[in-house]
Every structure is written in C-alpha cells, then in structure tokens.
C-alpha cells in the first residue's frame, strides 16, 4: 500500500496543475494510493502510526527537502520504504538521490530501486544532508581520539552526510560524501591560510579539508547555533554521529553515490 504525504505549501493554487499531473501519472503506473495533506495542526507521528498499522509499506513525500527531513524524523524507526517526489524550491537532496522533479519522479517511484541510506544524528534529531556551524570558534572532539580547534573567523565548518550543493566536483570530494559508507565528513573551508589545531599538533592548510568520522562532539566557550539541514537550529554543545543504513529509500539511476 502507498501513502502520499503532501506538504501544506502545495495548497497554493499555483501547484494545482503540477499535482494533477503527478496524480495522473501515479494512476497510469498503477501505484496510486491514499493522499494525506500535512498541516501544522496535524500530528505527523500519529498519522504515520495509524497508516503503518493499517498496512502501508511505502510512504512517499510530495514536497521539498524540508518536508522530506520532517518525515524522516518520524519514520526513521519504522520498517517502511521512503519515496520522494520533489516539487517547488529547495530540492537539492533530490538531485543527490537521482530524482527528477514533479511527475517525472513518478517513474522512479514505480521502478522501486531501493537503497539503504545512512542518516546523521544530532542529539535526538536525524538529518539527511549536513550540519552548518555558521559562527563562533568551535572545538570538534572526534571519537575521543583527537580534537580540532577551529577559528570560525577564518573557517566555515559543515558536517556532512550528503555532498553539499556548493562543493564542486573534484579530487577532494570524489571519495567522500557517500551516504552508504557508514561515515560522516567534517568539511572545513578556509577563507585564508590558517592553522587547524589538533590535540597534540597543528597543521597549516590553504584549502578545503575533509575529516571522516563516526561520532563527534561540537563544543564552544559560548553557546552558538548549529543548523541541521538548513531548518532545525540547536545550540552547542551537541553530539553528532552516524546512523548507518537507517532508512530504505527509493533512488534513481542518476544518484550521486
């Protein structure tokens, strides 16, 4: 059984024709199902609980990356398949997953190429893409083995599961950002030559540096915000770790991993 979760922003009349094409294509492919329209007043966890008990096996998000992450945080502990039909703006994750926009994604849902995908976890919340540390000097304590002290006035830090949209393809990133390898990556971007201080030594770098890890603690002298998937804001100190192969997702052949 299929359940389709529509984000509430799709109630805007400008999306009516696009939704009609999506629904027609799903019907033509024989994978139509129940449609539930989300709203701030609807309890998503209760909705998923009820539908899973009723026999739903595949839950497909119709919306943007924010919708996707909201749903992931509810269904991560359920044994269901997750699909994604991207529509509107803010759909970078769809490109990484190899999913075309709108009704073209219906064919991917029908083909049902399913992969187990890692998630990141920050405290008690899951994230799919990355954690951004936008300001303030921070210390990254990596698995209790070493620490990295970063002067934020010169560096930007991202803790990544998926490859960031702003990072161009190159040798630096070709072997990283695979959401199936059981690792996250700390991406330190340097605005000018600086030093990253480890617990026992320092190293001067002049370009982006990547540090793979499974678990990391973000600490700072003063509490500063960190942003998960460009939507959820938490304050330091926080703990970040990998949740290997946490969800099963329908992906396309053009996925970037």
CA end-to-end span of the chain, whole Å? Answer: 28
Consecutive H or E run containing 156: strand 155-160
248 vs 81: CA distance, rounded Å: 5
- pLDDT (mean) for 120-146: 90
Annotated domain spans of the chain: 2-112, 126-244
pLDDT at 156: 82
What are the tens digits of pLDDT across the range 144-202? Answer: 788 888 776 667 889 999 998 877 655 455 689 999 999 999 998 876 555 555 554 44
pLDDT at 166: 77
184 vs 161: CA distance, rounded Å: 5
Buried b (16+ CB within 10 A) or exposed e, 105-132: bbebbeeeeebebbbbbbeebbbbbbbb
What average pLDDT does the chain have? Answer: 89
Dig out the tokens for 19 from the structure. Answer: 């939704």
pLDDT at 150: 79
Q: Are 193 and 205 in contact (CB under 8 A)?
A: yes
Does the pTM exceed 0.85?
A: yes
Architecture of domain 126-244: Sandwich (2.60)
Burial of 250 (0-12, 13-18, 19+ CB in 10 A): buried
Q: Which residues make Cβ contacts (< 8 Å) with residue 190, sequence separation at least 6? A: 154, 155, 205, 206, 207, 208, 209
Consecutive H or E run containing 67: helix 65-75
Q: Are 50 and 3 in contact (CB under 8 A)?
A: no
In CATH, what number does 2-112 get? 3.40.50.10330
Consecutive H or E run containing 196: strand 194-198
Reduce the DSSP state of residue 217 to 3 states and report it.
strand
211 vs 222: CA distance, rounded Å: 24
Lowest mean pLDDT among 15-29, 102-116, 139-153, 202-216: 202-216
pLDDT band for 25, please (50, 70, 90 cuts).
very high
Dig out the tokens for 168 from the structure. Answer: 């161009």
- pLDDT (mean) for 78-92: 95
Q: Which of 97, 119, 143, 117 is nearest to 253 (CA)?
A: 97
Lowest mean pLDDT among 68-72, 86-90, 189-193: 189-193
């Amino acid at each position: 059984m299929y359940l389709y979760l529509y984000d509430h922003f799709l109630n805007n009349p400008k999306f009516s024709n696009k939704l009609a094409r999506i629904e027609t294509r799903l019907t033509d492919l024989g994978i139509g199902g129940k449609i539930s329209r989300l709203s701030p007043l609807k309890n998503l966890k209760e909705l998923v609980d009820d539908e899973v008990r009723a026999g739903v096996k595949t839950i497909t998000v119709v919306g943007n990356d924010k919708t996707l992450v909201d749903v992931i945080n509810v269904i991560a502990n359920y044994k269901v398949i997750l699909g994604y039909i991207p529509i509107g703006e803010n759909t970078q994750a769809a490109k990484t997953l190899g999913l075309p926009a709108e009704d073209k994604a219906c064919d991917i849902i029908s083909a049902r190429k399913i992969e187990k995908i890692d998630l990141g976890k920050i405290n008690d919340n899951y994230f799919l893409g990355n954690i951004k540390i936008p300001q303030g000097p921070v210390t990254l304590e990596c698995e209790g083995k070493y620490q990295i002290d970063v002067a934020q006035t010169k560096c930007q830090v991202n803790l990544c599961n998926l490859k960031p949209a702003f990072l161009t393809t190159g040798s630096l990133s070709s072997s990283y950002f695979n959401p199936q390898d059981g690792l996250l990556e700390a991406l330190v971007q340097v605005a000018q030559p600086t030093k990253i201080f480890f617990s026992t030594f320092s190293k001067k770098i002049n370009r982006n540096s990547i540090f793979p890890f499974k678990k990391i603690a973000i600490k700072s002298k003063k509490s500063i915000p960190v942003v998960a998937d460009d939507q959820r804001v938490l304050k330091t100190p926080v703990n970040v770790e990998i949740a290997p192969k946490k969800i099963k997702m329908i992906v396309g052949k053009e996925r970037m991993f």
